[in-house]
Amino acid sequence: MNRTRNAGVVTLLAVALLTACTPQGGNVPGKWGSTDPGQPNLIVNDNGSYSGSDGCNTMTGTGTISGTSIELGTVAMTQKACSGVDTWMSTAASGKADGNVMTMFDKSGTKIGTLDRND
């Protein structure tokens, strides 16, 4: 009986350790969008730091990942003038990952675009 109980305790400890080592960002961390000229992209790291482009200007910052969402927080972005590029990503405030698609939202919560997973 003690052997069975000890095996159960060892199993619970192993599961707890594995859970503690799992990245907390769910499926948010990764590469999103396209690196083709004029296309938006976003690279999100496990710790919430990110970098990317709206297709013209580069952006960087550290956001907060919660489940399948990221709040971008304060974004540092270049301010180049670009013609013929839809810079919707420059107004992004948050994103929500659903499978291989990250839907981006502005600060009012309005959907502004999507990025396909690219990693």
Whether 83 contacts 71, CB under 8 Å: no
Structure tokens at 67: 């489940």
pLDDT of residue 119: 87
CA angle 45, 74, 35 (to 5 degrees): 50
pTM of the model: 0.77
Cα 82 to the chain's mean position, in Å?
A: 26
CATH number, span 25-116: 2.40.128.270
- The whole-angstrom separation of Cα 40 and Cα 98 is 18
* Cβ atoms 42, 95 nearer than 8 A: yes
pLDDT, tens digit, for every residue of 45-74?
A: 999 999 999 999 999 999 999 999 999 999
H/E element holding 14? helix 2-21
pLDDT of residue 26: 56
Domain coordinates in residue numbering, the chain? 25-116
| Residue type (1 letter), 75 | V
Q: What per-residue confidence (pLDDT) applies to 16? A: 40
